[in-house]
Amino acid sequence: MRGISIPDRLMHILIVEDDAEIAGNLYDYFTAKGHQVDAARNGVTALHLLATLCFDVIILDLGLPGIDGLTLAQRIRHDAKSSIPILMLTARDTLDDKLAGFSAGADDYLVKPFALKEVEARITALAKRAQGRVVAKEMQIGALRYDPFSGVASWQGKPLKLSPKSLKLLVTMLEQPGRLFTREELEQAVWGEPQANSDTLRSHLSQLRRELTLQEGKLLIENVHGRGYRLLEQYDT
């Protein structure tokens, strides 16, 4: 259940929250930012997702039906032997409640009501800390730039209008320009698992390649037949 490598601030997030409105707000906010998000309304579903998918961080409510949040955190830490960062969200705000949360395995604790931007800041810090990385700086190759703080990629000075998945794909390749990525590596980075249909990845790559066209119709993302794709390190615009 180790988290996958994080390209910039893009993460695979598990939301464990039984309040449909809160879970929906979190889900919509983070998917709009380009993150991959799964949600569970109870501990049993959460454990199943954790056993089958890779996550970078967990947003966990304490007041869950059945298995409560404290018990779930303990099972994640002790039974599953997982070190995935956990941010606990709860209406309980006493010191004893917070100490119980940390004792159960929480890495951070946020009391409801909360601001979505604060949740984002906290889980980003947790995920970066877990990866042993500093906060990412702007990435740039020639006229191609990505600002991790605004979440905006630009080409030749103009913001790119990309879907969240296409943006995540671009950031993955921009983090290691010149590297040849296999189809499976790119699918793992973007969706958390290989896709049954190769057309899924191909459609997002096609969008990127249309946006990132060089002189005389040359493409910034190179297709190496039968092997994979790479973002060119050097090019003429």
* Amino acid at site 183: R
Residue 70 is predicted with a pLDDT of 92
- Which residues lie below 8 Å from residue 63, measured CB to CB, with a gap of 6+? 18, 69, 90, 91, 92
- Smallest Cα–Cα separation from 236: which of 209, 216, 222? 216
Question: Mean pLDDT over all residues of the chain?
Answer: 84
Q: How many CB atoms lie within 10 A of CB 148?
A: 17
Q: pTM of this prediction?
A: 0.56
Alpha-carbon span 223 to 189, nearest angstrom: 18
Which residues, in sequence order, are CB contacts of 137 under 8 Å at separation 6+?
A: 148
CA distance 33 to 25: 13
What pLDDT, on the 0 to 100 scale, is given for residue 134? 45
State residue 136's pLDDT score: 54
pLDDT of residue 236: 60
210-216 long-range contacts (CB < 8 A, ≥24 apart) are: 211/155, 211/160, 211/162, 212/144, 212/155
Type of residue numbered 94 = T
pLDDT tens digits, one per residue of 69-126? 999 999 998 877 788 899 999 887 787 888 888 888 899 999 888 999 999 999 988 8
- The answer to whether the beta carbons of residues 141 and 217 sit under 8 Å apart is no
Backbone angles phi, psi at 168, to 5 degrees: -65, -40
Q: Which residue has the tokens 């039974």?
A: 79
Residues of the chain with pLDDT under 70: 1-9, 131-137, 149-150, 215-217, 235-237
Residue 126: HSE in the Cβ half-sphere, 13 Å Cα cutoff? 26
